[in-house]
Amino acid sequence: MRVMIIGGTSGIGLALGAHYAARGAQLALCGRDPRRLDGHALDRHPHVSRYGFDIRDADDLRRAITDFGRDGLDLLIVVAGQYADAAGLAAQPELGPRLVQTNIAGLVDAFDIAAELMRRQGHGQLVAVASIAGLLKDYPGNSLYSASKRAAIAICDSYRKALAPFGIAVTTLVPGYVDTARLRELNGGDAGAKPWLQSEADAVKHMSAAIDRRAARCVFPWQLHLLVRLFNCLPNWLRGLRGK
């Protein structure tokens, strides 16, 4: 099995990489700085290749997917994403376009390039890691991050319909809070206050199981999913109070 993970040098992407390496996959781990793998258990693993690029750079993206995929590509997982809250965007407005280019345009480019290869070989699976924030309906004060993840979920739905006739599956992974180093960093070093926080190991179990069964969508944990669905039932003006 040949697996490429974009955003695979840290966090949940790296945890997924360890899972597939343990299963004997030929693995490509991609990130903006592949040196982050230095000293990791997958460093110098005989079945692991490293690629360094930014998903916003379509040329570098195509070179990496084409290079690793020359011997076939069974599974592409796009984990790469960018987060910015309202305060960050107010202080650095340039983060807004960068977030959109990463979370939306980069995902489309990666899916396009990999789908072209998979159509030629006659099989494959595309996977995107979105966020449960993307299930929030739009409302006054809703964040750009949520909007970008809502778009990512819709993109996956569109590619799933377009690629089904070619035997290519598209799986959308929609997790809640996962206890990664990045989430802890965004929360002052401790993400323990986040509701229904899950470990990386538990998240990988959910994600890998959904990928194995070629599920269309996997949302977890169910408790947070239920809370989001209830929140979406509130009137717009009431939901808008959340951001105030």
Residue 229: CB partners within 8 Å, gap ≥ 6? 135
Query: What are the structural domain ranges in the chain?
Result: 2-232
Give the pair of three-digit tokens for residue 228.
């989001």
Give the pair of three-digit tokens for residue 91.
């202080």
167 has a pLDDT exceeding 70: yes
* 164: Cα separation from own chain's centroid: 21
Whether the upstream peptide bond of residue 235 has omega within 30° of 0, thus cis, is no
Phi, psi for residue 49 in degrees, rounded to 5:
-110, 150
Give the pair of three-digit tokens for residue 104.
């939306």
Residue 17: CB partners within 8 Å, gap ≥ 6? 3, 5, 8, 27, 29, 42, 48
Task: Quickly state the pLDDT bin for 243 (edges 50, 70, 90).
Answer: low
pTM to 2 decimals? 0.94
Phi, psi for residue 103 in degrees, rounded to 5:
-80, -25
Name the residue type at position 159: Y
Q: Convert the pLDDT of each residue in 195-235 to its tens digit.
A: 999 999 999 999 999 999 999 999 999 999 999 999 988 88
- The gap between the terminal CA atoms of the chain, to the nearest Å, is 48
Weakest-pLDDT range from 14-18, 66-70, 83-87: 83-87
β-partners of residue 175 are 220
What pLDDT shows up at residue 85?
Answer: 87
Quick one: fold of 2-232? Rossmann fold (3.40.50)
Distance, CA of 221 to CA of 203 (rounded, Å): 9
84 has a pLDDT exceeding 70: yes
Give the pair of three-digit tokens for residue 85.
């809250």
Q: Share the mean pLDDT of the chain.
A: 94
Q: Convert the pLDDT of each residue in 145-166 to its tens digit.
A: 999 999 999 999 999 999 999 9
